[in-house]
Structure 1
Amino acid sequence: MLVMRGGGTLARLGDRWGALFEVVVPGATVPRHALSPEHAAGLGALLAAFHTRLPGAVPFEVPPLVPAAGVAVTLDRLRVIETAILALPHPDATDGWALDRTRQRLAHLRTSPLPEDLPTLPLRFVHGDFHDGNVFFQAGVPAAVIDWEQPRLAPRAWEVVRALHLSLRLDPALGGAFLRAYREHLPLPPEELRLGADLYAALQERNMWVYESVYLRGNPGPRAFIRPPPYVPFPQAWTASGLR
């Protein structure tokens, strides 16, 4: 049994009691830069297995995928972030990246935003945060999946595209191995994948989580996700990858 912060082994959760027990998970994660086509294929096969074996619906409340904010709302939020970055007394290089990318996103949303009407795809129960950092490998093969804290109802193609982007950075070789392995276990028509990419693109275009966490809520953790400019809209990166 694990010891809590207060030194005890039990914790009160509302009107209930809970305890944490240590569980040994086999294997280990693979650093993202070290992922090979074989690792990518393992990830694709594993996600297909989840989409096959997990129920489409569950008898308990699960949040649906949060819809994208409107363009006007996103513009307002970006301007607030821009103001917060400009007000920093001692900005560093990462802050400069954030400012440049914020202004580039503002310019994009003012001139060529994605449509407000998003693709509609069937929703199903999914892991919600499937990526390489939550998968433990053993002898090059996925052995365990952790972090089941964000299950949701979402299109499976959205989860596929999210994994291709977050884990594999849309690398054609890695992404191709992922998709081939997924489709060997579960059919995924190109049109469904395209609609999933369109949905993911709209959500990414309006996603402010990293910058709002860092610059409005004072959480330094997500600074690790701030990358150098330029800001490249997801549809451009998806098209360049050739994945389909």
Structure 2
Amino acid sequence: AVLGGRCYALHPWIEGRHRTGAQLERTESRRLGALLGRVHTSLEQVMDTDPATFPYDDSAEPADTFALIDELLALARNRTAHDAFDALAEHRLTERRTLLERHHHRRPPPGSEPASGWVHGDFHPLNVLYRGADPAAIIDWDRLGVQPRAEEAVRGAAIFFVRPTGELELTKVRAYARAYRRETGADASELAAAVHRVWWERLNDFWILRWRYQLDDRRADPQFAAVSALAVWWTKEYEAVLDAFAG
């Protein structure tokens, strides 16, 4: 229904629970990848808008990231009640600046993005409900839109399968990615392009620190240790991650 220019929909209540990647076995990881693949292929069948008419953001510009790092470092260092989180933030920001100086030439060029299509837009453990071992529902469709599809697959895996110390469980990632590729027909080059673009996105992204220091919003603080460590680990293990998705 459309009321006051806004769209509303009423769906049955779904009983279920959230499961992280650590709680999924390899077979369940495979099922998760196939599920996302079916979402993408099903959306393609029912959403007939030409994806080429939907623009999306280009890859991050290193100069902008360097400026943001300087701003966030100043905010972290100037806090009156400086705590362990602020110390970690300073360390990660300084570390990331060094990494970006070393890898700035690897920015994905325009036109390197994989094929676009309709995607859920926010595929992660809090938006997938399980009943027992089986997925029961995917919720929160407010970010439905047109984006490079394989990038959603890579982003989802990076959230589901990241360990608290920042490493990805690559055995599960491989099972998930192969199932996604079988379901969608995506080839190795499509996944490889997505891996590179999402890696670059993570290398330049500081959304948790922006929430904390610019918006005074600390809801995402508990995620920072793993998320910030992942960018460093992924850079070091780039080829292994690439092989898990596209090998």
Normalised-by-shorter TM-score class: 0.7 to 0.9
Q: Distance in 1 between matches of 2:177 and 2:103?
A: 30
Q: What are structure 2's unaligned runs of at least 5 residues?
A: 163-167
Q: Distance in 2 between matches of 1:22 and 1:157?
A: 28
Give 1:115's aligned residue. Answer: 107
Preserved contact between residue 58 and residue 125 of structure 1 (Cα < 8 Å): no
Give 1:240's aligned residue. Answer: 240
Give 2:85's aligned residue. Answer: 94
Instruction: Quickly say closer, same or farther: Cα 1:89–1:34, change in 2 above 3 A.
Output: same
- Partner SS state of residue 112, structure 1: helix
Give 2:156's aligned residue. Answer: 163
TM-score, normalised to structure 2, is 0.82
Preserved contact between residue 21 and residue 29 of structure 2 (Cα < 8 Å): no
Q: Distance in 2 between matches of 1:59 and 1:184?
A: 24
Give 1:7's aligned residue. Answer: none
Is 1:39 paired with 2:25? no
- Partner SS state of residue 36, structure 2: helix
Give 1:131's aligned residue. Answer: 124
**Equivalent residue runs for 1:53-202 within 5 Å:** 53-55=42-44, 58-59=48-49, 64-113=55-104, 114-115=106-107, 117-118=109-110, 119-169=112-162, 170-202=168-200
* Alignment RMSD: 2.7
Greater C-alpha Rg: 1
Q: What are structure 1's unaligned runs of at least 5 residues?
A: 1-12
The residue identity in structure 1 corresponding to 2:130 is F
1:217 equivalent among 215, 218, 227: 215
Give me the identity figure in percent: 23
- Partner SS state of residue 113, structure 2: coil
Instruction: Quickly say closer, same or farther: Cα 1:92–1:35, change in 2 above 3 A.
Output: farther
The residue identity in structure 2 corresponding to 1:128 is G
Preserved contact between residue 22 and residue 161 of structure 2 (Cα < 8 Å): no
Provide Cα deviations, 1:127-174, integer angstroms capped at 9, x if missing partner. Answer: 111122211112311110001111222111111111121111231221
